[in-house]
Structure 1
Amino acid sequence: MSSQTLLDYIRTSTSVTIDVDSNDASIAKPLAQNKLFCDMTSNQALVYAEVVKPENSDLLQKAAGWARDNKLDVSNDADALKIIDHLTTLLGKRVYPYLTGRVHAQVSPAFADSKDKTVEHATRLVKLYGEGDNAIPKDRICIKIPANQASIEACKELEEKGIRTLATTLFSVPQAVAAHQANCLYVAPYFNELGVHFPSEAAEWMGYGKDTATKHPMAAVIRSVVLTFRKLHSKTLVMPASIVTPEEVMALVTLEPDHLTISGGVLNKMNDPQTAWSESDLAPSNIQVPEISLEELAKIDYLDGHSLREAIDADPETRQKLADALRIFDEREKLTKEFLRKELPKY
């Protein structure tokens, strides 16, 4: 066992960049003492988890004042979303000092099938990050957007406007190629389906130990995305997400992505000197995946209004995982609205 922690070793001795998948500054701060994180990723579930914490009541007070100043009514659905957006950016600003890269925010899943609404919401989130105390410049912001037909087309429009995007809820190579065609900054293939993080969901996590890189069903997909992007000379970076254990982190490093975004719980385990690992655990994988020729890749324009939708519909597993992720994020957004309607009038 090395004297370094797994976290320190990956940061200093591999080509993989570590991002923090949390809106909690108290997680980022201690883990950034030796080396700052690059990006901070976010989503509706992470925002909800922070908003309801009693120790974050100061954020509710700020949000209540901001809502009054902007004449917003939390009982109105559109106004409630704007208040959530404000809270999302307040949380991101707290983590920002521990980053060298970008803060993220995720567009509402309710807009996933509307290019125009997705563009509008993403633009508003960037504007909010750039306002008020501790304003964050546009070039330090990235907006997370679902990898379905309308939303990927929104990514292309946003990228043309200079707003960087990440294609999330991604489970397949066609989704990744579509994001490349839209010039997204990142793709975030989910290693585990989103439901494994929620006890109320039917999804069950399965561990593969030392065989994770060869036996986990998403390992081959992520390796295929990495190799496909190399073949395309793509500038879009691969940032796997939805990681449950340090063993999964080690397996993912062997697949040679550009980034990994990791939750506070897993980061803490990686930073624990008692977590067992060896350099050989992180050697590049020899996992074999089907090759896709450039001719095949050039055949399909996934931004043509229907081809990505057809590819997702033809893949029952991707279709179900994408639908489940959007549903879970939508439920968390609704729970945040319910919480704000109950709590904001107290401030």
Structure 2
Amino acid sequence: MTSQLEQLKKMTTVVADTGDFEAIKVYQPQDATTNPSLLLKAMQIEKYQPLGAEAVAWAKGQGKNNAQTVKLAADKLSVLIGSKLMQQVPGLVSTEVDARLSFDTQATIDKAEQLIALYQQQDIDTSRVLIKIASTWEGIQAAKYLEEKGIRCNLTLLFSFAQARACAEVGAYLISPFVGRILDWYKNDQPEQDFTGANDPGVQSVTSIYNYFKEHGYSTVVMGASFRNISEIQQLAGCDRLTISPALLEELANNNEPLSQMLSASTEVKPAPSALSEQAFRWQMNEDAMATQKLAEGIRQFAIDQEKLEAMLAELI
């Protein structure tokens, strides 16, 4: 019997949720994705530190002051790691926009275009790059502009149906609903409840989003993310894509039990409803305490890790 990882690859595109080149070599995913937290972890590993030095050396020749040089070095580092990942995966690599820009549409657009320009300087095929943006209203509007310009986007920190629907309605290439963080909130809020298996609220959220997208013919790719255990992955087998950490990839690789496909596309497509207005989006987010709290928390944490990463680069400068 083949491993559950190999079985999963036959029904879902498997994406590595890591910047660790060694893990990617072992598990051979189709795509890879990073974020500030993963880049920070990578820079704490000695064998990846020369990339930080390379980024700083480049930035010193570009920046007008130390603060600007540090930000340029952080952008360059994310592109250098993304470029290395592209040498190991045949598909797409996601590179994240600074989370501190999550409520500024134009600044998000500008940063996305800067990252694409840096990839072009590396002679990278930018059709393989996804720009990761937080799923705020402002981020979703930035994605709308970027998609129209041919820059494909991965809308991340997604916790609600409203966020998912708005992303699909602007034509975002891909969304990353955070399964495990949804579960975290509900376990903390309702500790007495059974959230195992199909009762997992993160699994239920992604399942409903996937079914809605397929039912209405949206082309936006659904990529479940932020898993806490392999049961969540097993429950979402058949989803368009799943981005999985090395520890859970290893667990799947060591499990030879049969894996059932849980999600599949609808054969009948119905007309989509009218697009959400900004007011409707904000109200639905306001009504969803979990999504509101986890989105804010996720942005804060990515911003903190971005600042820690920049502090490490500043020491090199």
Q: Do they superpose with TM above 0.5?
A: yes
| Residue 210 (structure 2) pairs with residue 233 (structure 1) | no
Q: Residue by residue, what CA displacement relative to the aligned partner does 1:96-139 show, whole Å, maximum 9, x if unpaired?
A: 1222211111111111111101111111111112213xx32121
Distance 1:194 1:337, change over 3 A: farther
Among 202, 216, 229, which residue is 1:218 paired with?
202
Matching residue within 12, 20, 26 for 1:30 = 26
Contact 1:149 1:306 survives alignment (8 Å): no
Partner of 1:335: 308
> Which residue matches 1:9?
7
RMSD: 2.5
Paired residue type of 2:282:
R
Q: CA deviation at 1:191?
A: 0.5
Between the aligned partners of 2:88 and 2:222, the Cα distance in structure 1 is 22
Distance verdict in 2 for CA 1:72–1:243, change over 3 Å? farther
Instruction: Give the whole-Å Cα distance in 2 for the aligned partners of 1:310 and 1:21.
Output: 32
C-alpha distance in 2 between matches for 1:96 and 1:16: 20
Q: Deviations over 1:205-238 (max 9, x none)?
A: x9x99x7442111222111101110121011011
5+ residue gaps, structure 2: none
Q: Quick one: distance in 2 between partners of 1:110 and 1:283? A: 38
Equivalent residues of 1:47, 1:88 under 8 A apart: yes
Given that residues 106 and 144 in structure 1 are in contact (C-alpha distance below 8 angstroms), is that contact kept between their aligned partners in structure 2? yes
The aligned counterpart of 2:92 is 102
Q: Is the 8 A contact 1:213 1:285 kept in 2?
A: no
* TM-score normalised to structure 1 length: 0.82
**Within the alignment, does 1:277 sit opposite 2:257 as a pair?**
yes
Query: Any conservation in 1 of the 2:2–2:256 contact (CA below 8 Å)?
Result: no
The Cα offsets for residues 258-314 of structure 1, whole Å up to 9 and x where unpaired, read as 000111111122222xx35323xx24279xxxxxx968x624x33x44332222112
Q: Does 1:119 align with 2:113?
A: no
What is the match of residue 180 of structure 1?
168
Q: For 1:98, what is the secondary structure of its paired residue? A: coil
Q: 5+ residue gaps in structure 1?
A: 197-201, 287-292
Q: Is the 8 A contact 2:60 2:69 kept in 1?
A: no
Instruction: Confirm or deny: 8 A CA contact 2:203 2:232 kept in the other structure.
Output: no
After TM superposition, where is structure 1 displaced by more than 6 Å over at least 4 residues in a row?
A: none
Residue of structure 1 equivalent to 2:128: 140
Aligned to 2:245: 263
1:60 to 52, 73, 76: 52
CA distance in structure 2 between the partners assigned to 1:11 and 1:95 by the alignment: 19
Identical pairs, percent: 24
8 Å contact 2:183–2:201 — kept in the other structure? no
Q: Match of 2:32?
A: 40
Q: Does 1:247 align with 2:231?
A: yes
Q: Aligned equivalents of 1:316 and 1:308: distance in 2?
A: 14
1:199 is matched with which residue? none
How many residue pairs were aligned? Answer: 309
**TM-score in terms of structure 2 length:** 0.90
Native 8 Å contact 2:155 2:175 kept in 1: yes
What one-letter code is carried by the residue in structure 1 that aligns with 2:105? K
